Structure 1
C-alpha cells in the first residue's frame, strides 16, 4: 500500500468521517494518521531514524521527512538521528548545536503488517481522544443530576449509558434492593469523575445526601433561586432522611415551601427515592435549638452542650425515649449526622438518678474535708458549691447567704478548706518528687501540684518532656476513624484544662527553653488579627 495521489484525498475524507462518528476534532485523527505512517516508515528505513510525516490539511498529500539534530561530539549517541558540528558542515553553513537538518525521503510501501500496525495506532489515538473528550465533558458536571439509560448489570454494579460514554452505579450506591433492566431510565447523581488507566470513570450515586439536595433544588424553585438554602442532609437511603432548610426571606416558610401544596413537592422527591420518608426541619444557628428540631417527632425537655467535645446531652420524658432513639437508633443517628454532634439521650429518671449521685458525692466530700454534718454539707451543695477550691477562695458574702452562716462560721469554713487544699498539695508534691519530677516542671506557672503528680505518673517529669507534648495529650480530644469517634484521654483532663489552655502552656514552655522565638509568635498573632479584620471587612 503506497500513499499515491489517487488516495491522498481519501485520508482527509476518512479523518472527517471518523471524527464525525466519534465526535472528536478531525485534527486529532490526522495527527494519529501522521504518527501511524511515521511508525510504518521507521520500520522501513530503520527504527533509530527520526522519521516524521506531515499530511497537508487541504490536499491530503503526505510528506515524509528525515530529521537530524546537531549535537556536541561528546553527546553523540544516535548516529541515525544526530550528527556533530563537523559532520553537519557538509550539509549546511555555520551549523550550531541544536539546529536540525530536514530532508524529504520517498514515501514507503506499506505491507500488510505495517498497515495493520498503522490501523492500531489510529484506533488507539482515536480512543484516547474520545476519553479526553468524555472527561472534559463530565469533569465539570460532578455534583449534578443526570438521566441515564441502563445497559447491563455486572456483579451488582449497574452500567449505564450517559450519551457519550458509560458510567457506573455501584452496588453500594443503589437504594435498598433496587434492580434495573436494560433500557430502564434512571436518575442519578454524578458523584465523581476521575481519570484512570482504562479511561475516565464516571461514578454515580443514588444514596448520596447531595442527590436528595439536588432533587429538592429541581422541585422547589425557591431553593434554585437561592431564597431557601439547604444547610444539611442526613440519609438512611431508602428508609428515612432529615433535611435542614433556612429561608432568607421572612415572608417565606422554608418547610412549607419544600413540602408544597398538599405535599406535592416533597412527594415527588419521595417517589424518586423509593418511598424514603423525609423530615424537613427548620435550620437554627443555635445548636441546642437545632438539635431539638432534628429529634422531632420526639419531645426534648433539656439539652446540655459540650462544644469542645462536640457532644450534646439530651433529656427526654421516659415515655419518649423509644421515639427519640427511633427504630434501630435511626432517629438519633440521623439527628447526629445532621448536627455533626455525638448525642447522648437520657430519660428524666436517669438524669434524676445521676443528679442525686452527684449531690451525694459532693455532700460526702464536704462532710469529710470540712468536718461538717450532713445537713450543712447538703446546704453547701444546694447553693452551688462543687469543690473545696470554691469554698476556700470565694468571696465571704457568698457564704453568708446560707442560712445559719455568720462571718465567724464562714471564716472557719474557708480556713478548713484551705488547710485541706494545702495538705493535698503537699502530699501530691511529695509523690511527684518521689516519681522523679524535676524543679523545672514543679515551678512551671499554671501547673498545680496535683497536675505535676499526674504528669509524673504519665512519665512527663521535666520541662523538656512537657514541651514535647501535644495539646490533646494534655487536654484530651476526639479521634474519628471510619466515621466512628473515639475518646482520647488527656493527662490533665481531670483538672478541666481546655485545649487552648494546653496549647498556651506548651508554647510558653517551648519559649522558656528557647525552642521558639517569641517575636515570631507575636508576628503570627498580628497576621492572624489582620486576616480576621480582612474577613470582617469582606463580610
Structure 2
C-alpha cells in the first residue's frame, strides 16, 4: 500500500510541478516497468504494463497464445492446459496472466524519472521552437551572456540565441549583461534543442526598426519597397505611399528627423538615405543616387543597365566614398549603373560620331535606349524630399 501511495504521490507531484500531461507521465511509468521486465526476462516473453488508477500501481501482464502444439513455451500454451484456466478458450486466443511487478517498482520509478525528465526537455524544446518559429523576422531584445569563438550568445529569457560574428555590426562592442536588439532570421531544431539565429546586419532589421518607429508603416499606409545596407556605414530605403495625402519620405523622417534619428541611434550612427520609390526605373535611379543630382539617364531595359550622366561637380558625390553610393543605388534598383561626367560623355559621343561609317545610328551606346533629359527626370525628383 505504501508503494502505491508513494507512486500516486510521485505522479501527482510531477504533473503539478512540471506541468506535463498526466497521460504522458503514466505512459512513462508503464514503459519503465515494461523495460525493466523485458530486461529481466531477456525479451523472451510477450509482456504488457498498465497503470491501475484504483490501486495506484503499474501492473504487469504476460500473454501467451493458445496453440495445438507448443513451439515456444514462453509465448505459447497448448489447448488442454489453456482450458484448465478458461474452459471456453479456442486455438488462436490470447491468455493473459498478471505477474508480480513489485520487484520492478523501484527500478521503474528511477527509470521513469529519467524518461520524464527527457520528456520535459523535449516538450520544452518543442514549445520554444514553436514559439520562436512564429516570431521569425521579428526584432527581439535579449541580454548578452558570453562570447564563443566570436559568436555572441544572447539570453532571451526562455531560450538562448546566437548572434554569429558575420551578423554583428562592425565596431560594435558588447559585454556580458548588456541589452541587445536583433532580428530573428532563422530557428533550427538540433540535438541540443532549438537554435535561434539572430542578425543585426540583415536589411530586414532596418525595415523592422522603421515599422516599429513609424505608425504609417505599421498600418500599411507607407510601404517599404526595397532596403540595402552597408551595415554600420550607410543604407538606402525606398518607400512609397498608398495614400496620396501621406508623404512616405516625410513620414519615415518624422518631425525634425526624430523617427529616422531613433533608427540611426539603434544602428550606432549608420547613415540612412530615405528615397521615394518609383516604377519608372530612370526616375528611381535618380532618386537612388541621392544626394547627387543627375543630368541625364540612358536606360537599357533588356539588360537592366543604366548610363547616368552627371555634372562634373556631382561626379564624386554620385559615386560616393569607395564607390559606396553608386553600389548601394545599383543594389537598390537591381540595375548595373555606369556613371560618367558630362565632359566624359560628350567626349565619348564625339569620338563615336567621328568614327561613324553610316551603318549604325550615331551616339546609340545600347541596343535600345530611353534617353531622359534632366528636365524630365530631375525636376520631378527634386520635388520629392530626400534625406541622407
Aligned to 2:235: 241
Aligned to 1:11: 10
Shift of 1:94: 5.6
- Asked if 2 retains the 8 angstrom alpha-carbon contact of 1:332 and 1:343, the reply is yes
Aligned to 2:101: 107
Residue 192 of structure 1: which of 168, 186, 197 is its match? 186
Aligned to 2:30: 34
Residue 288 of structure 1: which of 279, 282, 286 is its match? 282
Aligned to 1:305: 299
Shift of 1:174: 1.2
Partners of 1:122 and 1:9 lie apart in 2 by 15
Higher relative strand content: 2
SS in 2 for 1:315: strand
Listed one character per residue, the Cα deviations across residues 386-423 of structure 1 (whole Å, up to 9, x for unaligned) are: 8xxxxxxxxxxxxxxxxxxxxxxxxxxxxxxxxxxxxx
SS in 1 for 2:147: strand
Aligned to 1:259: 253
SS in 2 for 1:63: strand
Aligned to 1:531: none
SS in 2 for 1:7: helix
Partners of 1:149 and 1:223 lie apart in 2 by 28
Partners of 1:317 and 1:85 lie apart in 2 by 105
The aligned runs of 1:137-536 (5 Å cut-off) are: 137-363=131-357
SS in 2 for 1:152: strand
SS in 1 for 2:123: helix
Shift of 1:29: 4.0
- Cα 1:30/1:291, change in 2 over 3 Å: farther
- Asked if 1 retains the 8 angstrom alpha-carbon contact of 2:318 and 2:325, the reply is yes
Partners of 2:74 and 2:245 lie apart in 1 by 78
SS in 2 for 1:298: coil
- Asked if 2 retains the 8 angstrom alpha-carbon contact of 1:316 and 1:345, the reply is yes
- Cα 1:106/1:172, change in 2 over 3 Å: same
Residue 55 of structure 1: which of 51, 56, 59 is its match? 51
Gaps of 5+ in 2: 369-388
- Cα 1:60/1:341, change in 2 over 3 Å: farther
- Asked if 1 retains the 8 angstrom alpha-carbon contact of 2:33 and 2:105, the reply is no
- Asked if 2 retains the 8 angstrom alpha-carbon contact of 1:160 and 1:169, the reply is yes
Q: Which moved more, 1:81-90 or 1:221-230?
A: 81-90
Aligned to 1:460: none
Shift of 1:355: 1.9
- Cα 1:319/1:51, change in 2 over 3 Å: farther
Shift of 1:311: 2.2
- Asked if 2 retains the 8 angstrom alpha-carbon contact of 1:3 and 1:62, the reply is no
Partners of 1:80 and 1:233 lie apart in 2 by 75
Shift of 1:205: 1.0
- Asked if 1 retains the 8 angstrom alpha-carbon contact of 2:64 and 2:77, the reply is no
Listed one character per residue, the Cα deviations across residues 257-282 of structure 1 (whole Å, up to 9, x for unaligned) are: 11111111111111111111111111
Larger Rg: 1
Listed one character per residue, the Cα deviations across residues 495-520 of structure 1 (whole Å, up to 9, x for unaligned) are: x79xxxxxxxxxxxxxxxxxxxxxxx
Listed one character per residue, the Cα deviations across residues 420-445 of structure 1 (whole Å, up to 9, x for unaligned) are: xxxxxxxxxxxxxxxxxxxxxxxxxx
Shift of 1:309: 1.8
The root-mean-square deviation of aligned C-alpha atoms, in Å, is 3.6
- Cα 1:260/1:305, change in 2 over 3 Å: same
SS in 2 for 1:167: strand
Higher RCO structure (Cα 8 Å, ≥6 apart): 2
Partners of 1:345 and 1:101 lie apart in 2 by 90
Listed one character per residue, the Cα deviations across residues 164-200 of structure 1 (whole Å, up to 9, x for unaligned) are: 2211111111111323222222111110112223322
Give me the TM-score of the superposition, normalised by structure 2.
0.81
- Asked if 2 retains the 8 angstrom alpha-carbon contact of 1:149 and 1:161, the reply is yes
Residue 126 of structure 2: which of 126, 132, 139 is its match? 132
- Asked if 2 retains the 8 angstrom alpha-carbon contact of 1:19 and 1:29, the reply is no
Partners of 1:140 and 1:87 lie apart in 2 by 63
- Cα 1:209/1:381, change in 2 over 3 Å: closer
Equivalent residues, number: 362
Shift of 1:112: 8.4
